[in-house]
Amino acid sequence: MSDLSQLFPTAAQVAAEFAVPDYLAQRHYLVGGELRQWQGELAPVISPVQLRDEQSGELAAVTLGATPLMDSAAALQALDAAVAAYDLGRGHWPTLPVLERIRHVEAFLQAMSAKREQVVRLLMWEIGKNATDAAKEFDRTCDYIRDTIKALKQQDRADSHFIEEQQVLGKIRRVPLGVALCMGPFNYPLNETFTTLIPALMMGNTVVFKPAKYGVLLIEPLLQAFRDCFPPGVINVIYGRGRETVGALMETGKVDVLAFIGTNKGASDLKRLHPKPHRLKAVLGLDAKNPAIVLPCADVAASAKEIIAGALAFNGQRCTALKIIFVPRSKAAEMLPLLAAHIDALKLAMPWQPGAQITPLPEPGKTEAMAALIADAKAHGAEVVNAGGGSYAGSLMKPALLYPVTPQMRLYQQEQFGPLVPVVPYDDVSEVIDYVIHSDFGQQLSIFGTDGAAIGPLVDIFANQVGRINLNSQCQRSPDSFPFTGRKDSAEGTLSVQDALHQFSIPTLVAAKGSEAGIALVRGMVQARHSAFLATDFLF
Ligand code: G3H
């Protein structure tokens, strides 16, 4: 590849249907059911997709718009609105019957679906996600909402009956926790955020939602839908720097649930600010360094293909990406050219171009940071195996395959979250086991092999180390009905369609003596419909 800057389009080369979205100077934010106007400073939103000047060939940044750089006082008003709507558990929303809460979410889903095209286009321009994956992110989020509705109905049906144990009559239902602060990551700014936001709302919590650092404008088309579909104060949306906004919210002690997808350092800093940490429930998706472990019995060709897909989908910017590859030293000579060939086959292009696989990176300075990791690995004896690997122009980098990677290199432990594929040779599988058990991370891993007798014992060892073991397949979150979790610095809590409903609620029970009088009292209340909690209705 000669000059990657040629891959960036000139303004005239961008097809009309994917044109730069109209500049959006967003001043409004959502608090207490109103779209308020922010009169202060705005933060610019810069696209990772740069435009090439036809004459000079220089790359220029594209500013897509701006969002409110809210201060702590404004953020605190959003929190006050959520606290008021919750009203110590007595508010309209936390006491609303489940079916009615579902109706609000269904209305939101319908309004959101109408914004698909706008949101998908912003996903491409704001974070560089390719057209197919951007559309997939939107559709997967809608499916997640539908599945959550189904799961909540199912949960409510299961909870609608009474149980009797040791002469005690009981009825258990899950109830909300309070005010949730929800923050998502830039790589899935819609999907991952909504996988906490929607279950939090559906369980009756009220929410303050702060969009991700990048992928922030794409929430704007949904603000009106949030305002129109939920009662005032149930969902509030704020913008601004984390330390000035969410830091202030945490210090009040009024946040009951922190749902955060980001770094473990960020999560710890926020948790520490809460004056009564024991009252704070945290639902966290954090850093990961998922290993691919190629065994001597692996099908090398099939493994190489799957590993590159797992390492480089969305430029390696997935928490679940394969971020370090262990290969038997004796297999390296066979494996490396295959890995390199799969990397070379990836199409570097702009997000809307057909077949685009490697696209511009949204974090400012990211290509330079990746280059520094490569330089460090080279200084300690690694080489870039694939031709042109690690070359970059502006925000676009050709993925680099690095070998041999050793413990002296930063890439060995550090999560790159970008287009680098470090390969570590090993002589004995105990070296890999050591790596996994001593790693700070514990999200997932992938084992590649064909001999069950070799794989089985490893499964048993790794089952106590990570949240998911993938056999001959890349690490991933889906299907969304499977538990998504991690150990150590990788996660707190478990998310899936069903688990998320549990994370944002707590079981509460009403118990009565199973005596004649106790039963008569409860039966009377149920029959006269004196209590919604005790109702035995089947939710259709
Ligand atoms: O960034 C982390 C995502 O949860 C990964 O989801 O495996 O479906 O890409 P995915």
Q: Which pLDDT tens digit goes with each residue over 186-232?
A: 999 999 999 999 999 999 999 999 999 999 999 999 999 999 999 99
pLDDT for residue 243: 84
Exposed (0-12), middle (13-18) or buried (19+): which is 313, by Cβ within 10 Å? buried
CA atoms within 13 A on the CB side of 114: 10
Q: Determine if ligand 1 sits within 6 Å of the CB of residue 320.
A: yes
Give 286 Cα–ligand 1 centroid separation in angstroms: 11
Nearest atom (ligand 1) to Cα of 187: 1
CB atoms under 10 Å from CB of 34, counted, come to: 14
Q: Which pLDDT tens digit goes with each residue over 474-490?
A: 999 999 999 999 999 99
Give 143 Cα–ligand 1 centroid separation in angstroms: 15
Give 157 Cα–ligand 1 centroid separation in angstroms: 31
Residues linked to residue 509 through DSSP beta bridges, in sequence order: 172
Alpha carbon distance 206, 193 (integer Å): 15
Q: Residue 316: which residues within 8 A CB-CB, separation 6 or more?
A: 323, 399, 416, 417, 418, 419, 420, 421
Q: Is the pLDDT of residue 2 over 70?
A: no
Question: Residue 538: pLDDT band by 50, 70, 90 thresholds?
Answer: confident
- Token readout for 131 is 């057209």
Give 472 Cα–ligand 1 centroid separation in angstroms: 18
Q: Determine if ligand 1 sits within 6 Å of the CB of residue 476.
A: yes
Q: Is the pLDDT of residue 86 over 80?
A: yes
Helix 116-127 crosses helix 220-229 at what angle (to 10 degrees)? Answer: 140
- Token readout for 483 is 């538990």
CA distances (Å), origin 512, targets 156, 165, 168, 516, 517:
21, 11, 6, 10, 9
Q: Residue 110: which residues within 8 A CB-CB, separation 6 or more?
A: none
Give 477 Cα–ligand 1 centroid separation in angstroms: 5
Q: Average pLDDT for residues 498-510, to the nearest whole number?
A: 98
The one-character DSSP state at 440 is S
Q: Determine if ligand 1 sits within 6 Å of the CB of residue 319.
A: yes
Q: Which pLDDT tens digit goes with each residue over 424-456?
A: 999 999 999 999 999 999 999 999 999 999 999
Q: Determine if ligand 1 sits within 6 Å of the CB of residue 264.
A: no
Question: Is 240 strand, coil or helix?
Answer: coil
Q: Which pLDDT tens digit goes with each residue over 396-420?
A: 999 999 999 999 999 999 999 999 9
Least Cα distance to 285 among 436, 486, 429 occurs for 486
Residue nearest to atom 8 of ligand 1 (CA): 477
Q: Determine if ligand 1 sits within 6 Å of the CB of residue 129.
A: no
Alpha carbon distance 492, 482 (integer Å): 16
Q: For residue 179, what is the enclosing H or E element?
A: strand 179-183
Q: Average pLDDT for residues 150-171, to the nearest whole number?
A: 95
Q: Average pLDDT for residues 358-386, to the nearest whole number?
A: 98
Q: Determine if ligand 1 sits within 6 Å of the CB of residue 173.
A: no
Give 536 Cα–ligand 1 centroid separation in angstroms: 38
Q: Determine if ligand 1 sits within 6 Å of the CB of residue 188.
A: yes
Question: Is 400 strand, coil or helix?
Answer: strand
**Contact status, residue 102 vs residue 152, Cβ threshold 8 Å:** yes
Mean pLDDT taken over the chain: 97
Residue nearest to atom 2 of ligand 1 (CA): 319
Q: Which pLDDT tens digit goes with each residue over 245-275?
A: 999 999 999 999 999 999 999 999 999 999 9
Nearest atom (ligand 1) to Cα of 188: 1
Question: Residue 458: pLDDT band by 50, 70, 90 thresholds?
Answer: very high
Q: Determine if ligand 1 sits within 6 Å of the CB of residue 477.
A: yes
Give 512 Cα–ligand 1 centroid separation in angstroms: 45
Give 295 Cα–ligand 1 centroid separation in angstroms: 25
Alpha carbon distance 279, 314 (integer Å): 37
Give 478 Cα–ligand 1 centroid separation in angstroms: 7
Q: Residue 219: which residues within 8 A CB-CB, separation 6 or more?
A: 189, 190, 211, 237
**Contact status, residue 179 vs residue 205, Cβ threshold 8 Å:** yes
Alpha carbon distance 511, 50 (integer Å): 63
Q: Average pLDDT for residues 112-128, to the nearest whole number?
A: 97
Sign of CA dihedral 511, 514, 515, 521: positive
Q: Is the pLDDT of residue 1 over 60?
A: no
Nearest atom (ligand 1) to Cα of 477: 7
Helix 220-229 crosses helix 98-113 at what angle (to 10 degrees)? Answer: 150
Least Cα distance to 1 among 371, 390, 290, 537 occurs for 390
Residue type at 530?
H
Give 484 Cα–ligand 1 centroid separation in angstroms: 9
Give 107 Cα–ligand 1 centroid separation in angstroms: 27
Question: Is 495 strand, coil or helix?
Answer: strand
Q: Average pLDDT for residues 380-389, to the nearest whole number?
A: 98
CB atoms under 10 Å from CB of 330, counted, come to: 11
Q: Determine if ligand 1 sits within 6 Å of the CB of residue 187.
A: yes
Give 253 Cα–ligand 1 centroid separation in angstroms: 31
Q: Determine if ligand 1 sits within 6 Å of the CB of residue 137.
A: no
Q: Residue 160: which residues within 8 A CB-CB, separation 6 or more?
A: 535, 536, 537, 538, 539
Give 421 Cα–ligand 1 centroid separation in angstroms: 18
Q: Is the pLDDT of residue 23 over 50?
A: yes
Tokens 């590849």 correspond to 1
| Long-range pairs of 407-410 with CB within 8 A, sequence gap ≥ 24 | 408/380, 408/381, 409/376, 409/377, 409/380, 409/382, 410/373, 410/376, 410/377
| Long-range pairs of 298-303 with CB within 8 A, sequence gap ≥ 24 | 298/331, 298/448, 298/449, 298/450, 298/472, 299/448, 299/450, 299/472, 300/331, 300/334, 300/335, 300/338, 301/338, 302/472, 303/335, 303/448, 303/472
Q: Determine if ligand 1 sits within 6 Å of the CB of residue 478.
A: yes
CA atoms within 13 A on the CB side of 366: 22
Exposed (0-12), middle (13-18) or buried (19+): which is 328, by Cβ within 10 Å? buried
User: Which one of 415, 478, 485 would you pick to mutate in the ligand 1 pocket, going by the greatest count of ligand atoms within 8 A of its CB?
Assistant: 478
pLDDT for residue 539: 84
Q: Which pLDDT tens digit goes with each residue over 97-119?
A: 999 999 999 999 999 999 999 99
Q: Is the pLDDT of residue 77 over 70?
A: yes
Ramachandran bin of 89, using left for φ above 0, alpha for ψ from -120 to 50, beta for the remaining angles: left
Question: Is 81 strand, coil or helix?
Answer: helix
Q: Average pLDDT for residues 287-304, to the nearest whole number?
A: 98
User: Which one of 130, 139, 188 would you pick to mutate in the ligand 1 pocket, going by the greatest count of ligand atoms within 8 A of its CB?
Assistant: 188
Nearest atom (ligand 1) to Cα of 321: 7
Nearest atom (ligand 1) to Cα of 478: 8
Q: Is the pLDDT of residue 312 over 70?
A: yes
**Per the confidence metrics, is the pTM higher than 0.85?**
yes
Give 152 Cα–ligand 1 centroid separation in angstroms: 23
